[in-house]
Structure 1
Amino acid sequence: MKALGLVCLLVLLQSLVGCAVNPATGRSDFVMMSEQQELAMGREYNQEIAKQYPRYPDEALQTYVQQVGERVARYSHRSNLAYRFTVVDSPDINAFALPGGYIYIHRGLMAYLNSEAELAAVLGHEVGHVTARHSVRQQSQSTAWGILGQAVAIGTGVGAAADITNVLGGAVVSGYGRDMELEADGLGAQYLARSGYDPRAMIEVVKVLKAQSDFARDQARAKGQAEPPSSYHGLFDTHPDHDTRLQQVVGPASALAVGSGQEARRDEYLQRIQGLPFGDSADTGVRRGSAFYHRDLNFTLRYPQGWALDNRPDVLLGQSPDEQALLAMTLGDAREGESAAEFLQRKAGGQVREQLPLSGQDGVVGILPGRPSRRVAVVMRGRHAYQFIGVVREGSLQVWDDAFMQVIKSFRPLRADERKLAEPRRLKLVKLQAGQQLRDFIGKSSKPDEAIARLRLLNGLYPDGQAKNGEWLKILD
């Protein structure tokens, strides 16, 4: 019976596996998905992404990005797809593509780009992932490894064999990896050149991303903290200009430029992003040091000095410097006339509770027993229930409970003089005049060296570049 089961599974695997000619590379690829299935998967994932990543509410900028993306995609190996380019309202330095042509770029990355050609390079890179069907190849490998693992387990009678095979499969498909990323860079550079942009913008984008890693590493060293991992797939240990493989995939694209192309369109791009929020947006709340301000929901709270704040669309996370304590705040909907105590009772069951001493606000706190036990709290304002939960990775809740309570008790409405703090900083363009230096544009910063370094990073000058007289400079207003 085991032998018969093994044969059946191997026949199933053979029936599912296909070798399709990759439209971008011309190679035969191992795939287990038709193009129609790929498009259907993209549509399904796109609906989920739309729920998790808010669309940046500037339709003029959205239209501009769509036009630039379409210009590049028109010259791709799968120009028949209906590409959709979306700006995500997030400060993260990121862009990604879903199967079938759904491409997202975070406004956080757009703030650091310095020309329309660089924007086109980012979008072209993501189009390259789509045309080379990287997500399809990745998922096909994962599915095949899973089926093969079942076959080995049945054939050998050793259940652990499936686990071993899944581990091997996970190693193969854990991220696109350097080869696929370089392939997407090379394809993107081709599409840039064919559409009239300077293909060397692809290397400029890699410089931007590499500078982000260098900046984060240098700031961590200056503060005596652990160095963060590279943010661009860990590909480049040296400067991108000196990366031989990157030069090999991007360089040949220059010969493909049409007519008198090679456009950069720097000034046009910078004018488009003037006024772009830098960092958090007013819609999601603004972090300022250890404090948090939300304009539309009309509240502020403060974490202990030195805690890291992560502002996500659905939760505000605060983490202690040693990463042992975590306090999250989320927003829920209460029932009509429901009190904070009733809300906590409904969500957490009958637990020990006490009223919070919050002026003019209905608040209650409690402790959820368990290993570990957790500090919980609810503050009610109208139909909004602000829910807090504090957890400790190791040790006792008591060690961190005073810090948790300090944050919870700091929750209050904004004062009139704090409303400006709930507005984000925005990009502003200035033309550098003779005699001006970067130091002239950082304001009254408490950390001038860090502010200058960030200004260099923002303008593609990190770590020691100098702006030229007469050029536009991005500063923070």
Structure 2
Amino acid sequence: MTVRDFVALGLVLGLLSGCAVNPATGRTNFVMMSEQQELDLGRRYNQEIIKQNPRHADEKLQAYVQQIGERVAKASHRSQLDYQFTVVDSPDINAFALPGGYIYIHRGLLAYLNSEAELAAVLGHEVGHVTARHSVQQQSQSSAWNILGQAVAIGTGVGAAADLTNVLGTTFVRGYGRDMELEADGLGAQYLARSGYDPQAMIEVVKVLKNQEVFARDQAAKRGEAQATGGYHGLFDTHPDNDRRLQEVLGPARALVAGQQIVNREVFLQHLEGLPFGDSAATGVRRGQNFYHAELGFALGFPDGWGIVNRPDAVIGHTPDQQAFIAMTLEANDQGLAPADLLRQRAGNTRLANGEALQQAGLQGYTAVIPGNPARRVAVVSKGKQAYLFVGVTRGNASLDTQDARFLQVIKSFHSLTTAERKLAEPLRLHMVKAKNGQTMAALAKDSKLPDDAEATLRLLNNLYPTGEPKAGDWLKVVR
């Protein structure tokens, strides 16, 4: 080993020796980042997250969530941080935290919570990840494995060693893991109790999320599909079915409880009145095999049986076996280029074959094939100063020859919204009603506009899954 190698290895060993006292637990953790670096990292990540996760437009709801989050955060071990709580305009069941106190909760998760205390529990869990610096530990461990791989490569001359340790490091730090999730639950429960909420709400949230997993599995079984694992923070991996470990971490929090604890069920439900359920007008609405976007004023159709994925940056259709995909994205056309010229510009130096002009519902477009393995169907449709770019691609045993007719079917379905379609572009929304004497979930489901298994979905929304029934006078969420 040369002097240069010894110097490099010495730097590595110095980096690997970084430790700090965890502000939430008092334990010494391996970290390679100062608090200021953590705050800077959070700010940078936040800018990217904002681009990928649109903010929900209801500022009254945003202010309410910020208020509850701040109350919990002030009772935390790192109350000095400037916490920002944001409701993301997404139907996903999710919440997450960035380093430095940037916390996001999707409106899809809000719809299934049933009280202010449960909202505080979710936010408290995410605050727990921030106060315990879990993301910093995760980042530091990942960096350490990468550095160690470089050191091995220097010392042995075997470059593959770096790849091996990268793989090991990725496996070691993937997700937060059971211990970190339980630690975040324990810390969140402490913060709930200190801020006046019942820490039992943490258990209630776990029940809500487990019901989500069971519901998803039941629905997949009805469709004859395999249910993907995971969910919000890998719920089943974190909490045993009997929640024994969760009960244990909540013990110290319960000791902090003094007097009546805040639940605020009705106040919370009032803030959910009118909340979009599923897709929103701002992101476009899926109905059956059609997609409608009120703000952009277009509609699009997909073949029977195809899945539709609605993302902030794209609408994606795919075959049931996921061997063929077509994605549509919105493109700027500030220069006012003709569709054929814009498509050639986007394709760069790539050759286009079988070009064809499109004229559909008063809109001009152009489509072609990009040869290759696999070949791709591409198209541009102009609408005002905007252009919509389509890319269809296959994988596995599928080929463009077998799927091109369907790709063209999707492209040629694009048109401006009609007057009748504008109503279809409006999202379903949550509304609150009081249960009447003898009223059943089956009866409520008959009046619902939910497209699939309305009764099961309404039970899930109201924490009555799979067979519960409401009591007279209970506030219930319905979807209209």
TM exceeding 0.5: yes
Question: 1:157-172 residue pairs with structure 2 within 5 A?
Answer: 157-172=157-172
Is 1:337 paired with 2:336?
Answer: yes
Is 1:475 paired with 2:478?
Answer: yes
Is 1:416 paired with 2:415?
Answer: no
CA distance in 2, matches of 1:443, 1:403: 35
- Give 1:450's match in structure 2, choosing from 448, 453, 462: 453
Checking the alignment, whether the CA contact within 8 Å between 2:181 and 2:238 is kept in structure 1 is no
Checking the alignment, whether the CA contact within 8 Å between 1:210 and 1:232 is kept in structure 2 is no
Distance 1:36 1:354, change over 3 A: same
- Where does residue 368 of structure 1 map in the other structure? 370
- Where does residue 128 of structure 1 map in the other structure? 128
- Give 2:383's match in structure 1, choosing from 381, 384, 391: 381
Distance 1:224 1:409, change over 3 A: same
- Amino acid in the other structure paired with 1:211: N
Question: 1:203-242 residue pairs with structure 2 within 5 A?
Answer: 203-236=203-236, 242=242
Question: 1:77-88 residue pairs with structure 2 within 5 A?
Answer: 77-88=77-88
- Amino acid in the other structure paired with 2:442: R
Is 1:351 paired with 2:352?
Answer: yes
Checking the alignment, whether the CA contact within 8 Å between 1:210 and 1:239 is kept in structure 2 is no
Higher mean C-alpha displacement, 8-17 vs 396-405: 8-17
CA distance in 1, matches of 2:417, 2:467: 40
- Where does residue 426 of structure 1 map in the other structure? 429
- Where does residue 45 of structure 2 map in the other structure? 45
CA distance in 2, matches of 1:186, 1:337: 57
Q: Structure 1: any 5+ residue segments left out of the alignment?
A: none
- Give 2:443's match in structure 1, choosing from 440, 445, 466: 440
Checking the alignment, whether the CA contact within 8 Å between 2:428 and 2:449 is kept in structure 1 is no
Per-residue Cα deviation, 1:36-61 (whole angstroms, up to 9, x for no partner): 11111111111111111111111111
Q: Give the C-alpha shift of residue 448 in structure 1.
A: 8.6
- Amino acid in the other structure paired with 1:410: S
CA distance in 2, matches of 1:19, 1:455: 49
Q: Give the C-alpha shift of residue 236 in structure 1.
A: 2.3
Per-residue Cα deviation, 1:179-216 (whole angstroms, up to 9, x for no partner): 11111011101100111101011111111111111111
- Where does residue 299 of structure 2 map in the other structure? 300
CA distance in 2, matches of 1:280, 1:449: 15
Checking the alignment, whether the CA contact within 8 Å between 1:3 and 1:155 is kept in structure 2 is no
- Amino acid in the other structure paired with 1:209: L
Kindly, what percent of the aligned residue pairs are identical? 64
CA root-mean-square deviation: 1.8
Question: 1:133-172 residue pairs with structure 2 within 5 A?
Answer: 133-172=133-172
Q: Give the C-alpha shift of residue 74 in structure 1.
A: 0.8
- Amino acid in the other structure paired with 2:70: E
Checking the alignment, whether the CA contact within 8 Å between 1:152 and 1:161 is kept in structure 2 is yes
Q: Structure 2: any 5+ residue segments left out of the alignment?
A: none
Checking the alignment, whether the CA contact within 8 Å between 1:220 and 1:228 is kept in structure 2 is no
- Amino acid in the other structure paired with 1:93: I
Question: 1:275-314 residue pairs with structure 2 within 5 A?
Answer: 275-314=274-313
CA distance in 2, matches of 1:89, 1:14: 45
- Amino acid in the other structure paired with 1:185: D
Q: Give the C-alpha shift of residue 6 in structure 1.
A: 4.2
Q: Give the C-alpha shift of residue 261 in structure 1.
A: 3.5
Checking the alignment, whether the CA contact within 8 Å between 2:118 and 2:205 is kept in structure 1 is yes
CA distance in 1, matches of 2:130, 2:123: 11
CA distance in 2, matches of 1:274, 1:46: 29
- Amino acid in the other structure paired with 1:339: A
- Where does residue 328 of structure 1 map in the other structure? 327
Question: 1:461-472 residue pairs with structure 2 within 5 A?
Answer: 461-472=464-475
Checking the alignment, whether the CA contact within 8 Å between 2:178 and 2:239 is kept in structure 1 is no
- Amino acid in the other structure paired with 1:442: A
Please give the TM-score of this superposition, normalised by the length of structure 1.
Answer: 0.96
Checking the alignment, whether the CA contact within 8 Å between 1:374 and 1:391 is kept in structure 2 is yes
CA distance in 2, matches of 1:13, 1:398: 54
Per-residue Cα deviation, 1:109-159 (whole angstroms, up to 9, x for no partner): 101100000000000000000000001101111111111111111212222
Q: Give the C-alpha shift of residue 240 in structure 1.
A: 6.3
Q: Give the C-alpha shift of residue 7 in structure 1.
A: 2.6
Checking the alignment, whether the CA contact within 8 Å between 2:210 and 2:235 is kept in structure 1 is no
Distance 1:393 1:253, change over 3 A: same
The ranges of structure 1 where at least 4 consecutive aligned residues each deviate by more than 3 angstroms after the TM superposition are 3-6, 232-235, 237-241, 443-449
Checking the alignment, whether the CA contact within 8 Å between 2:448 and 2:479 is kept in structure 1 is no
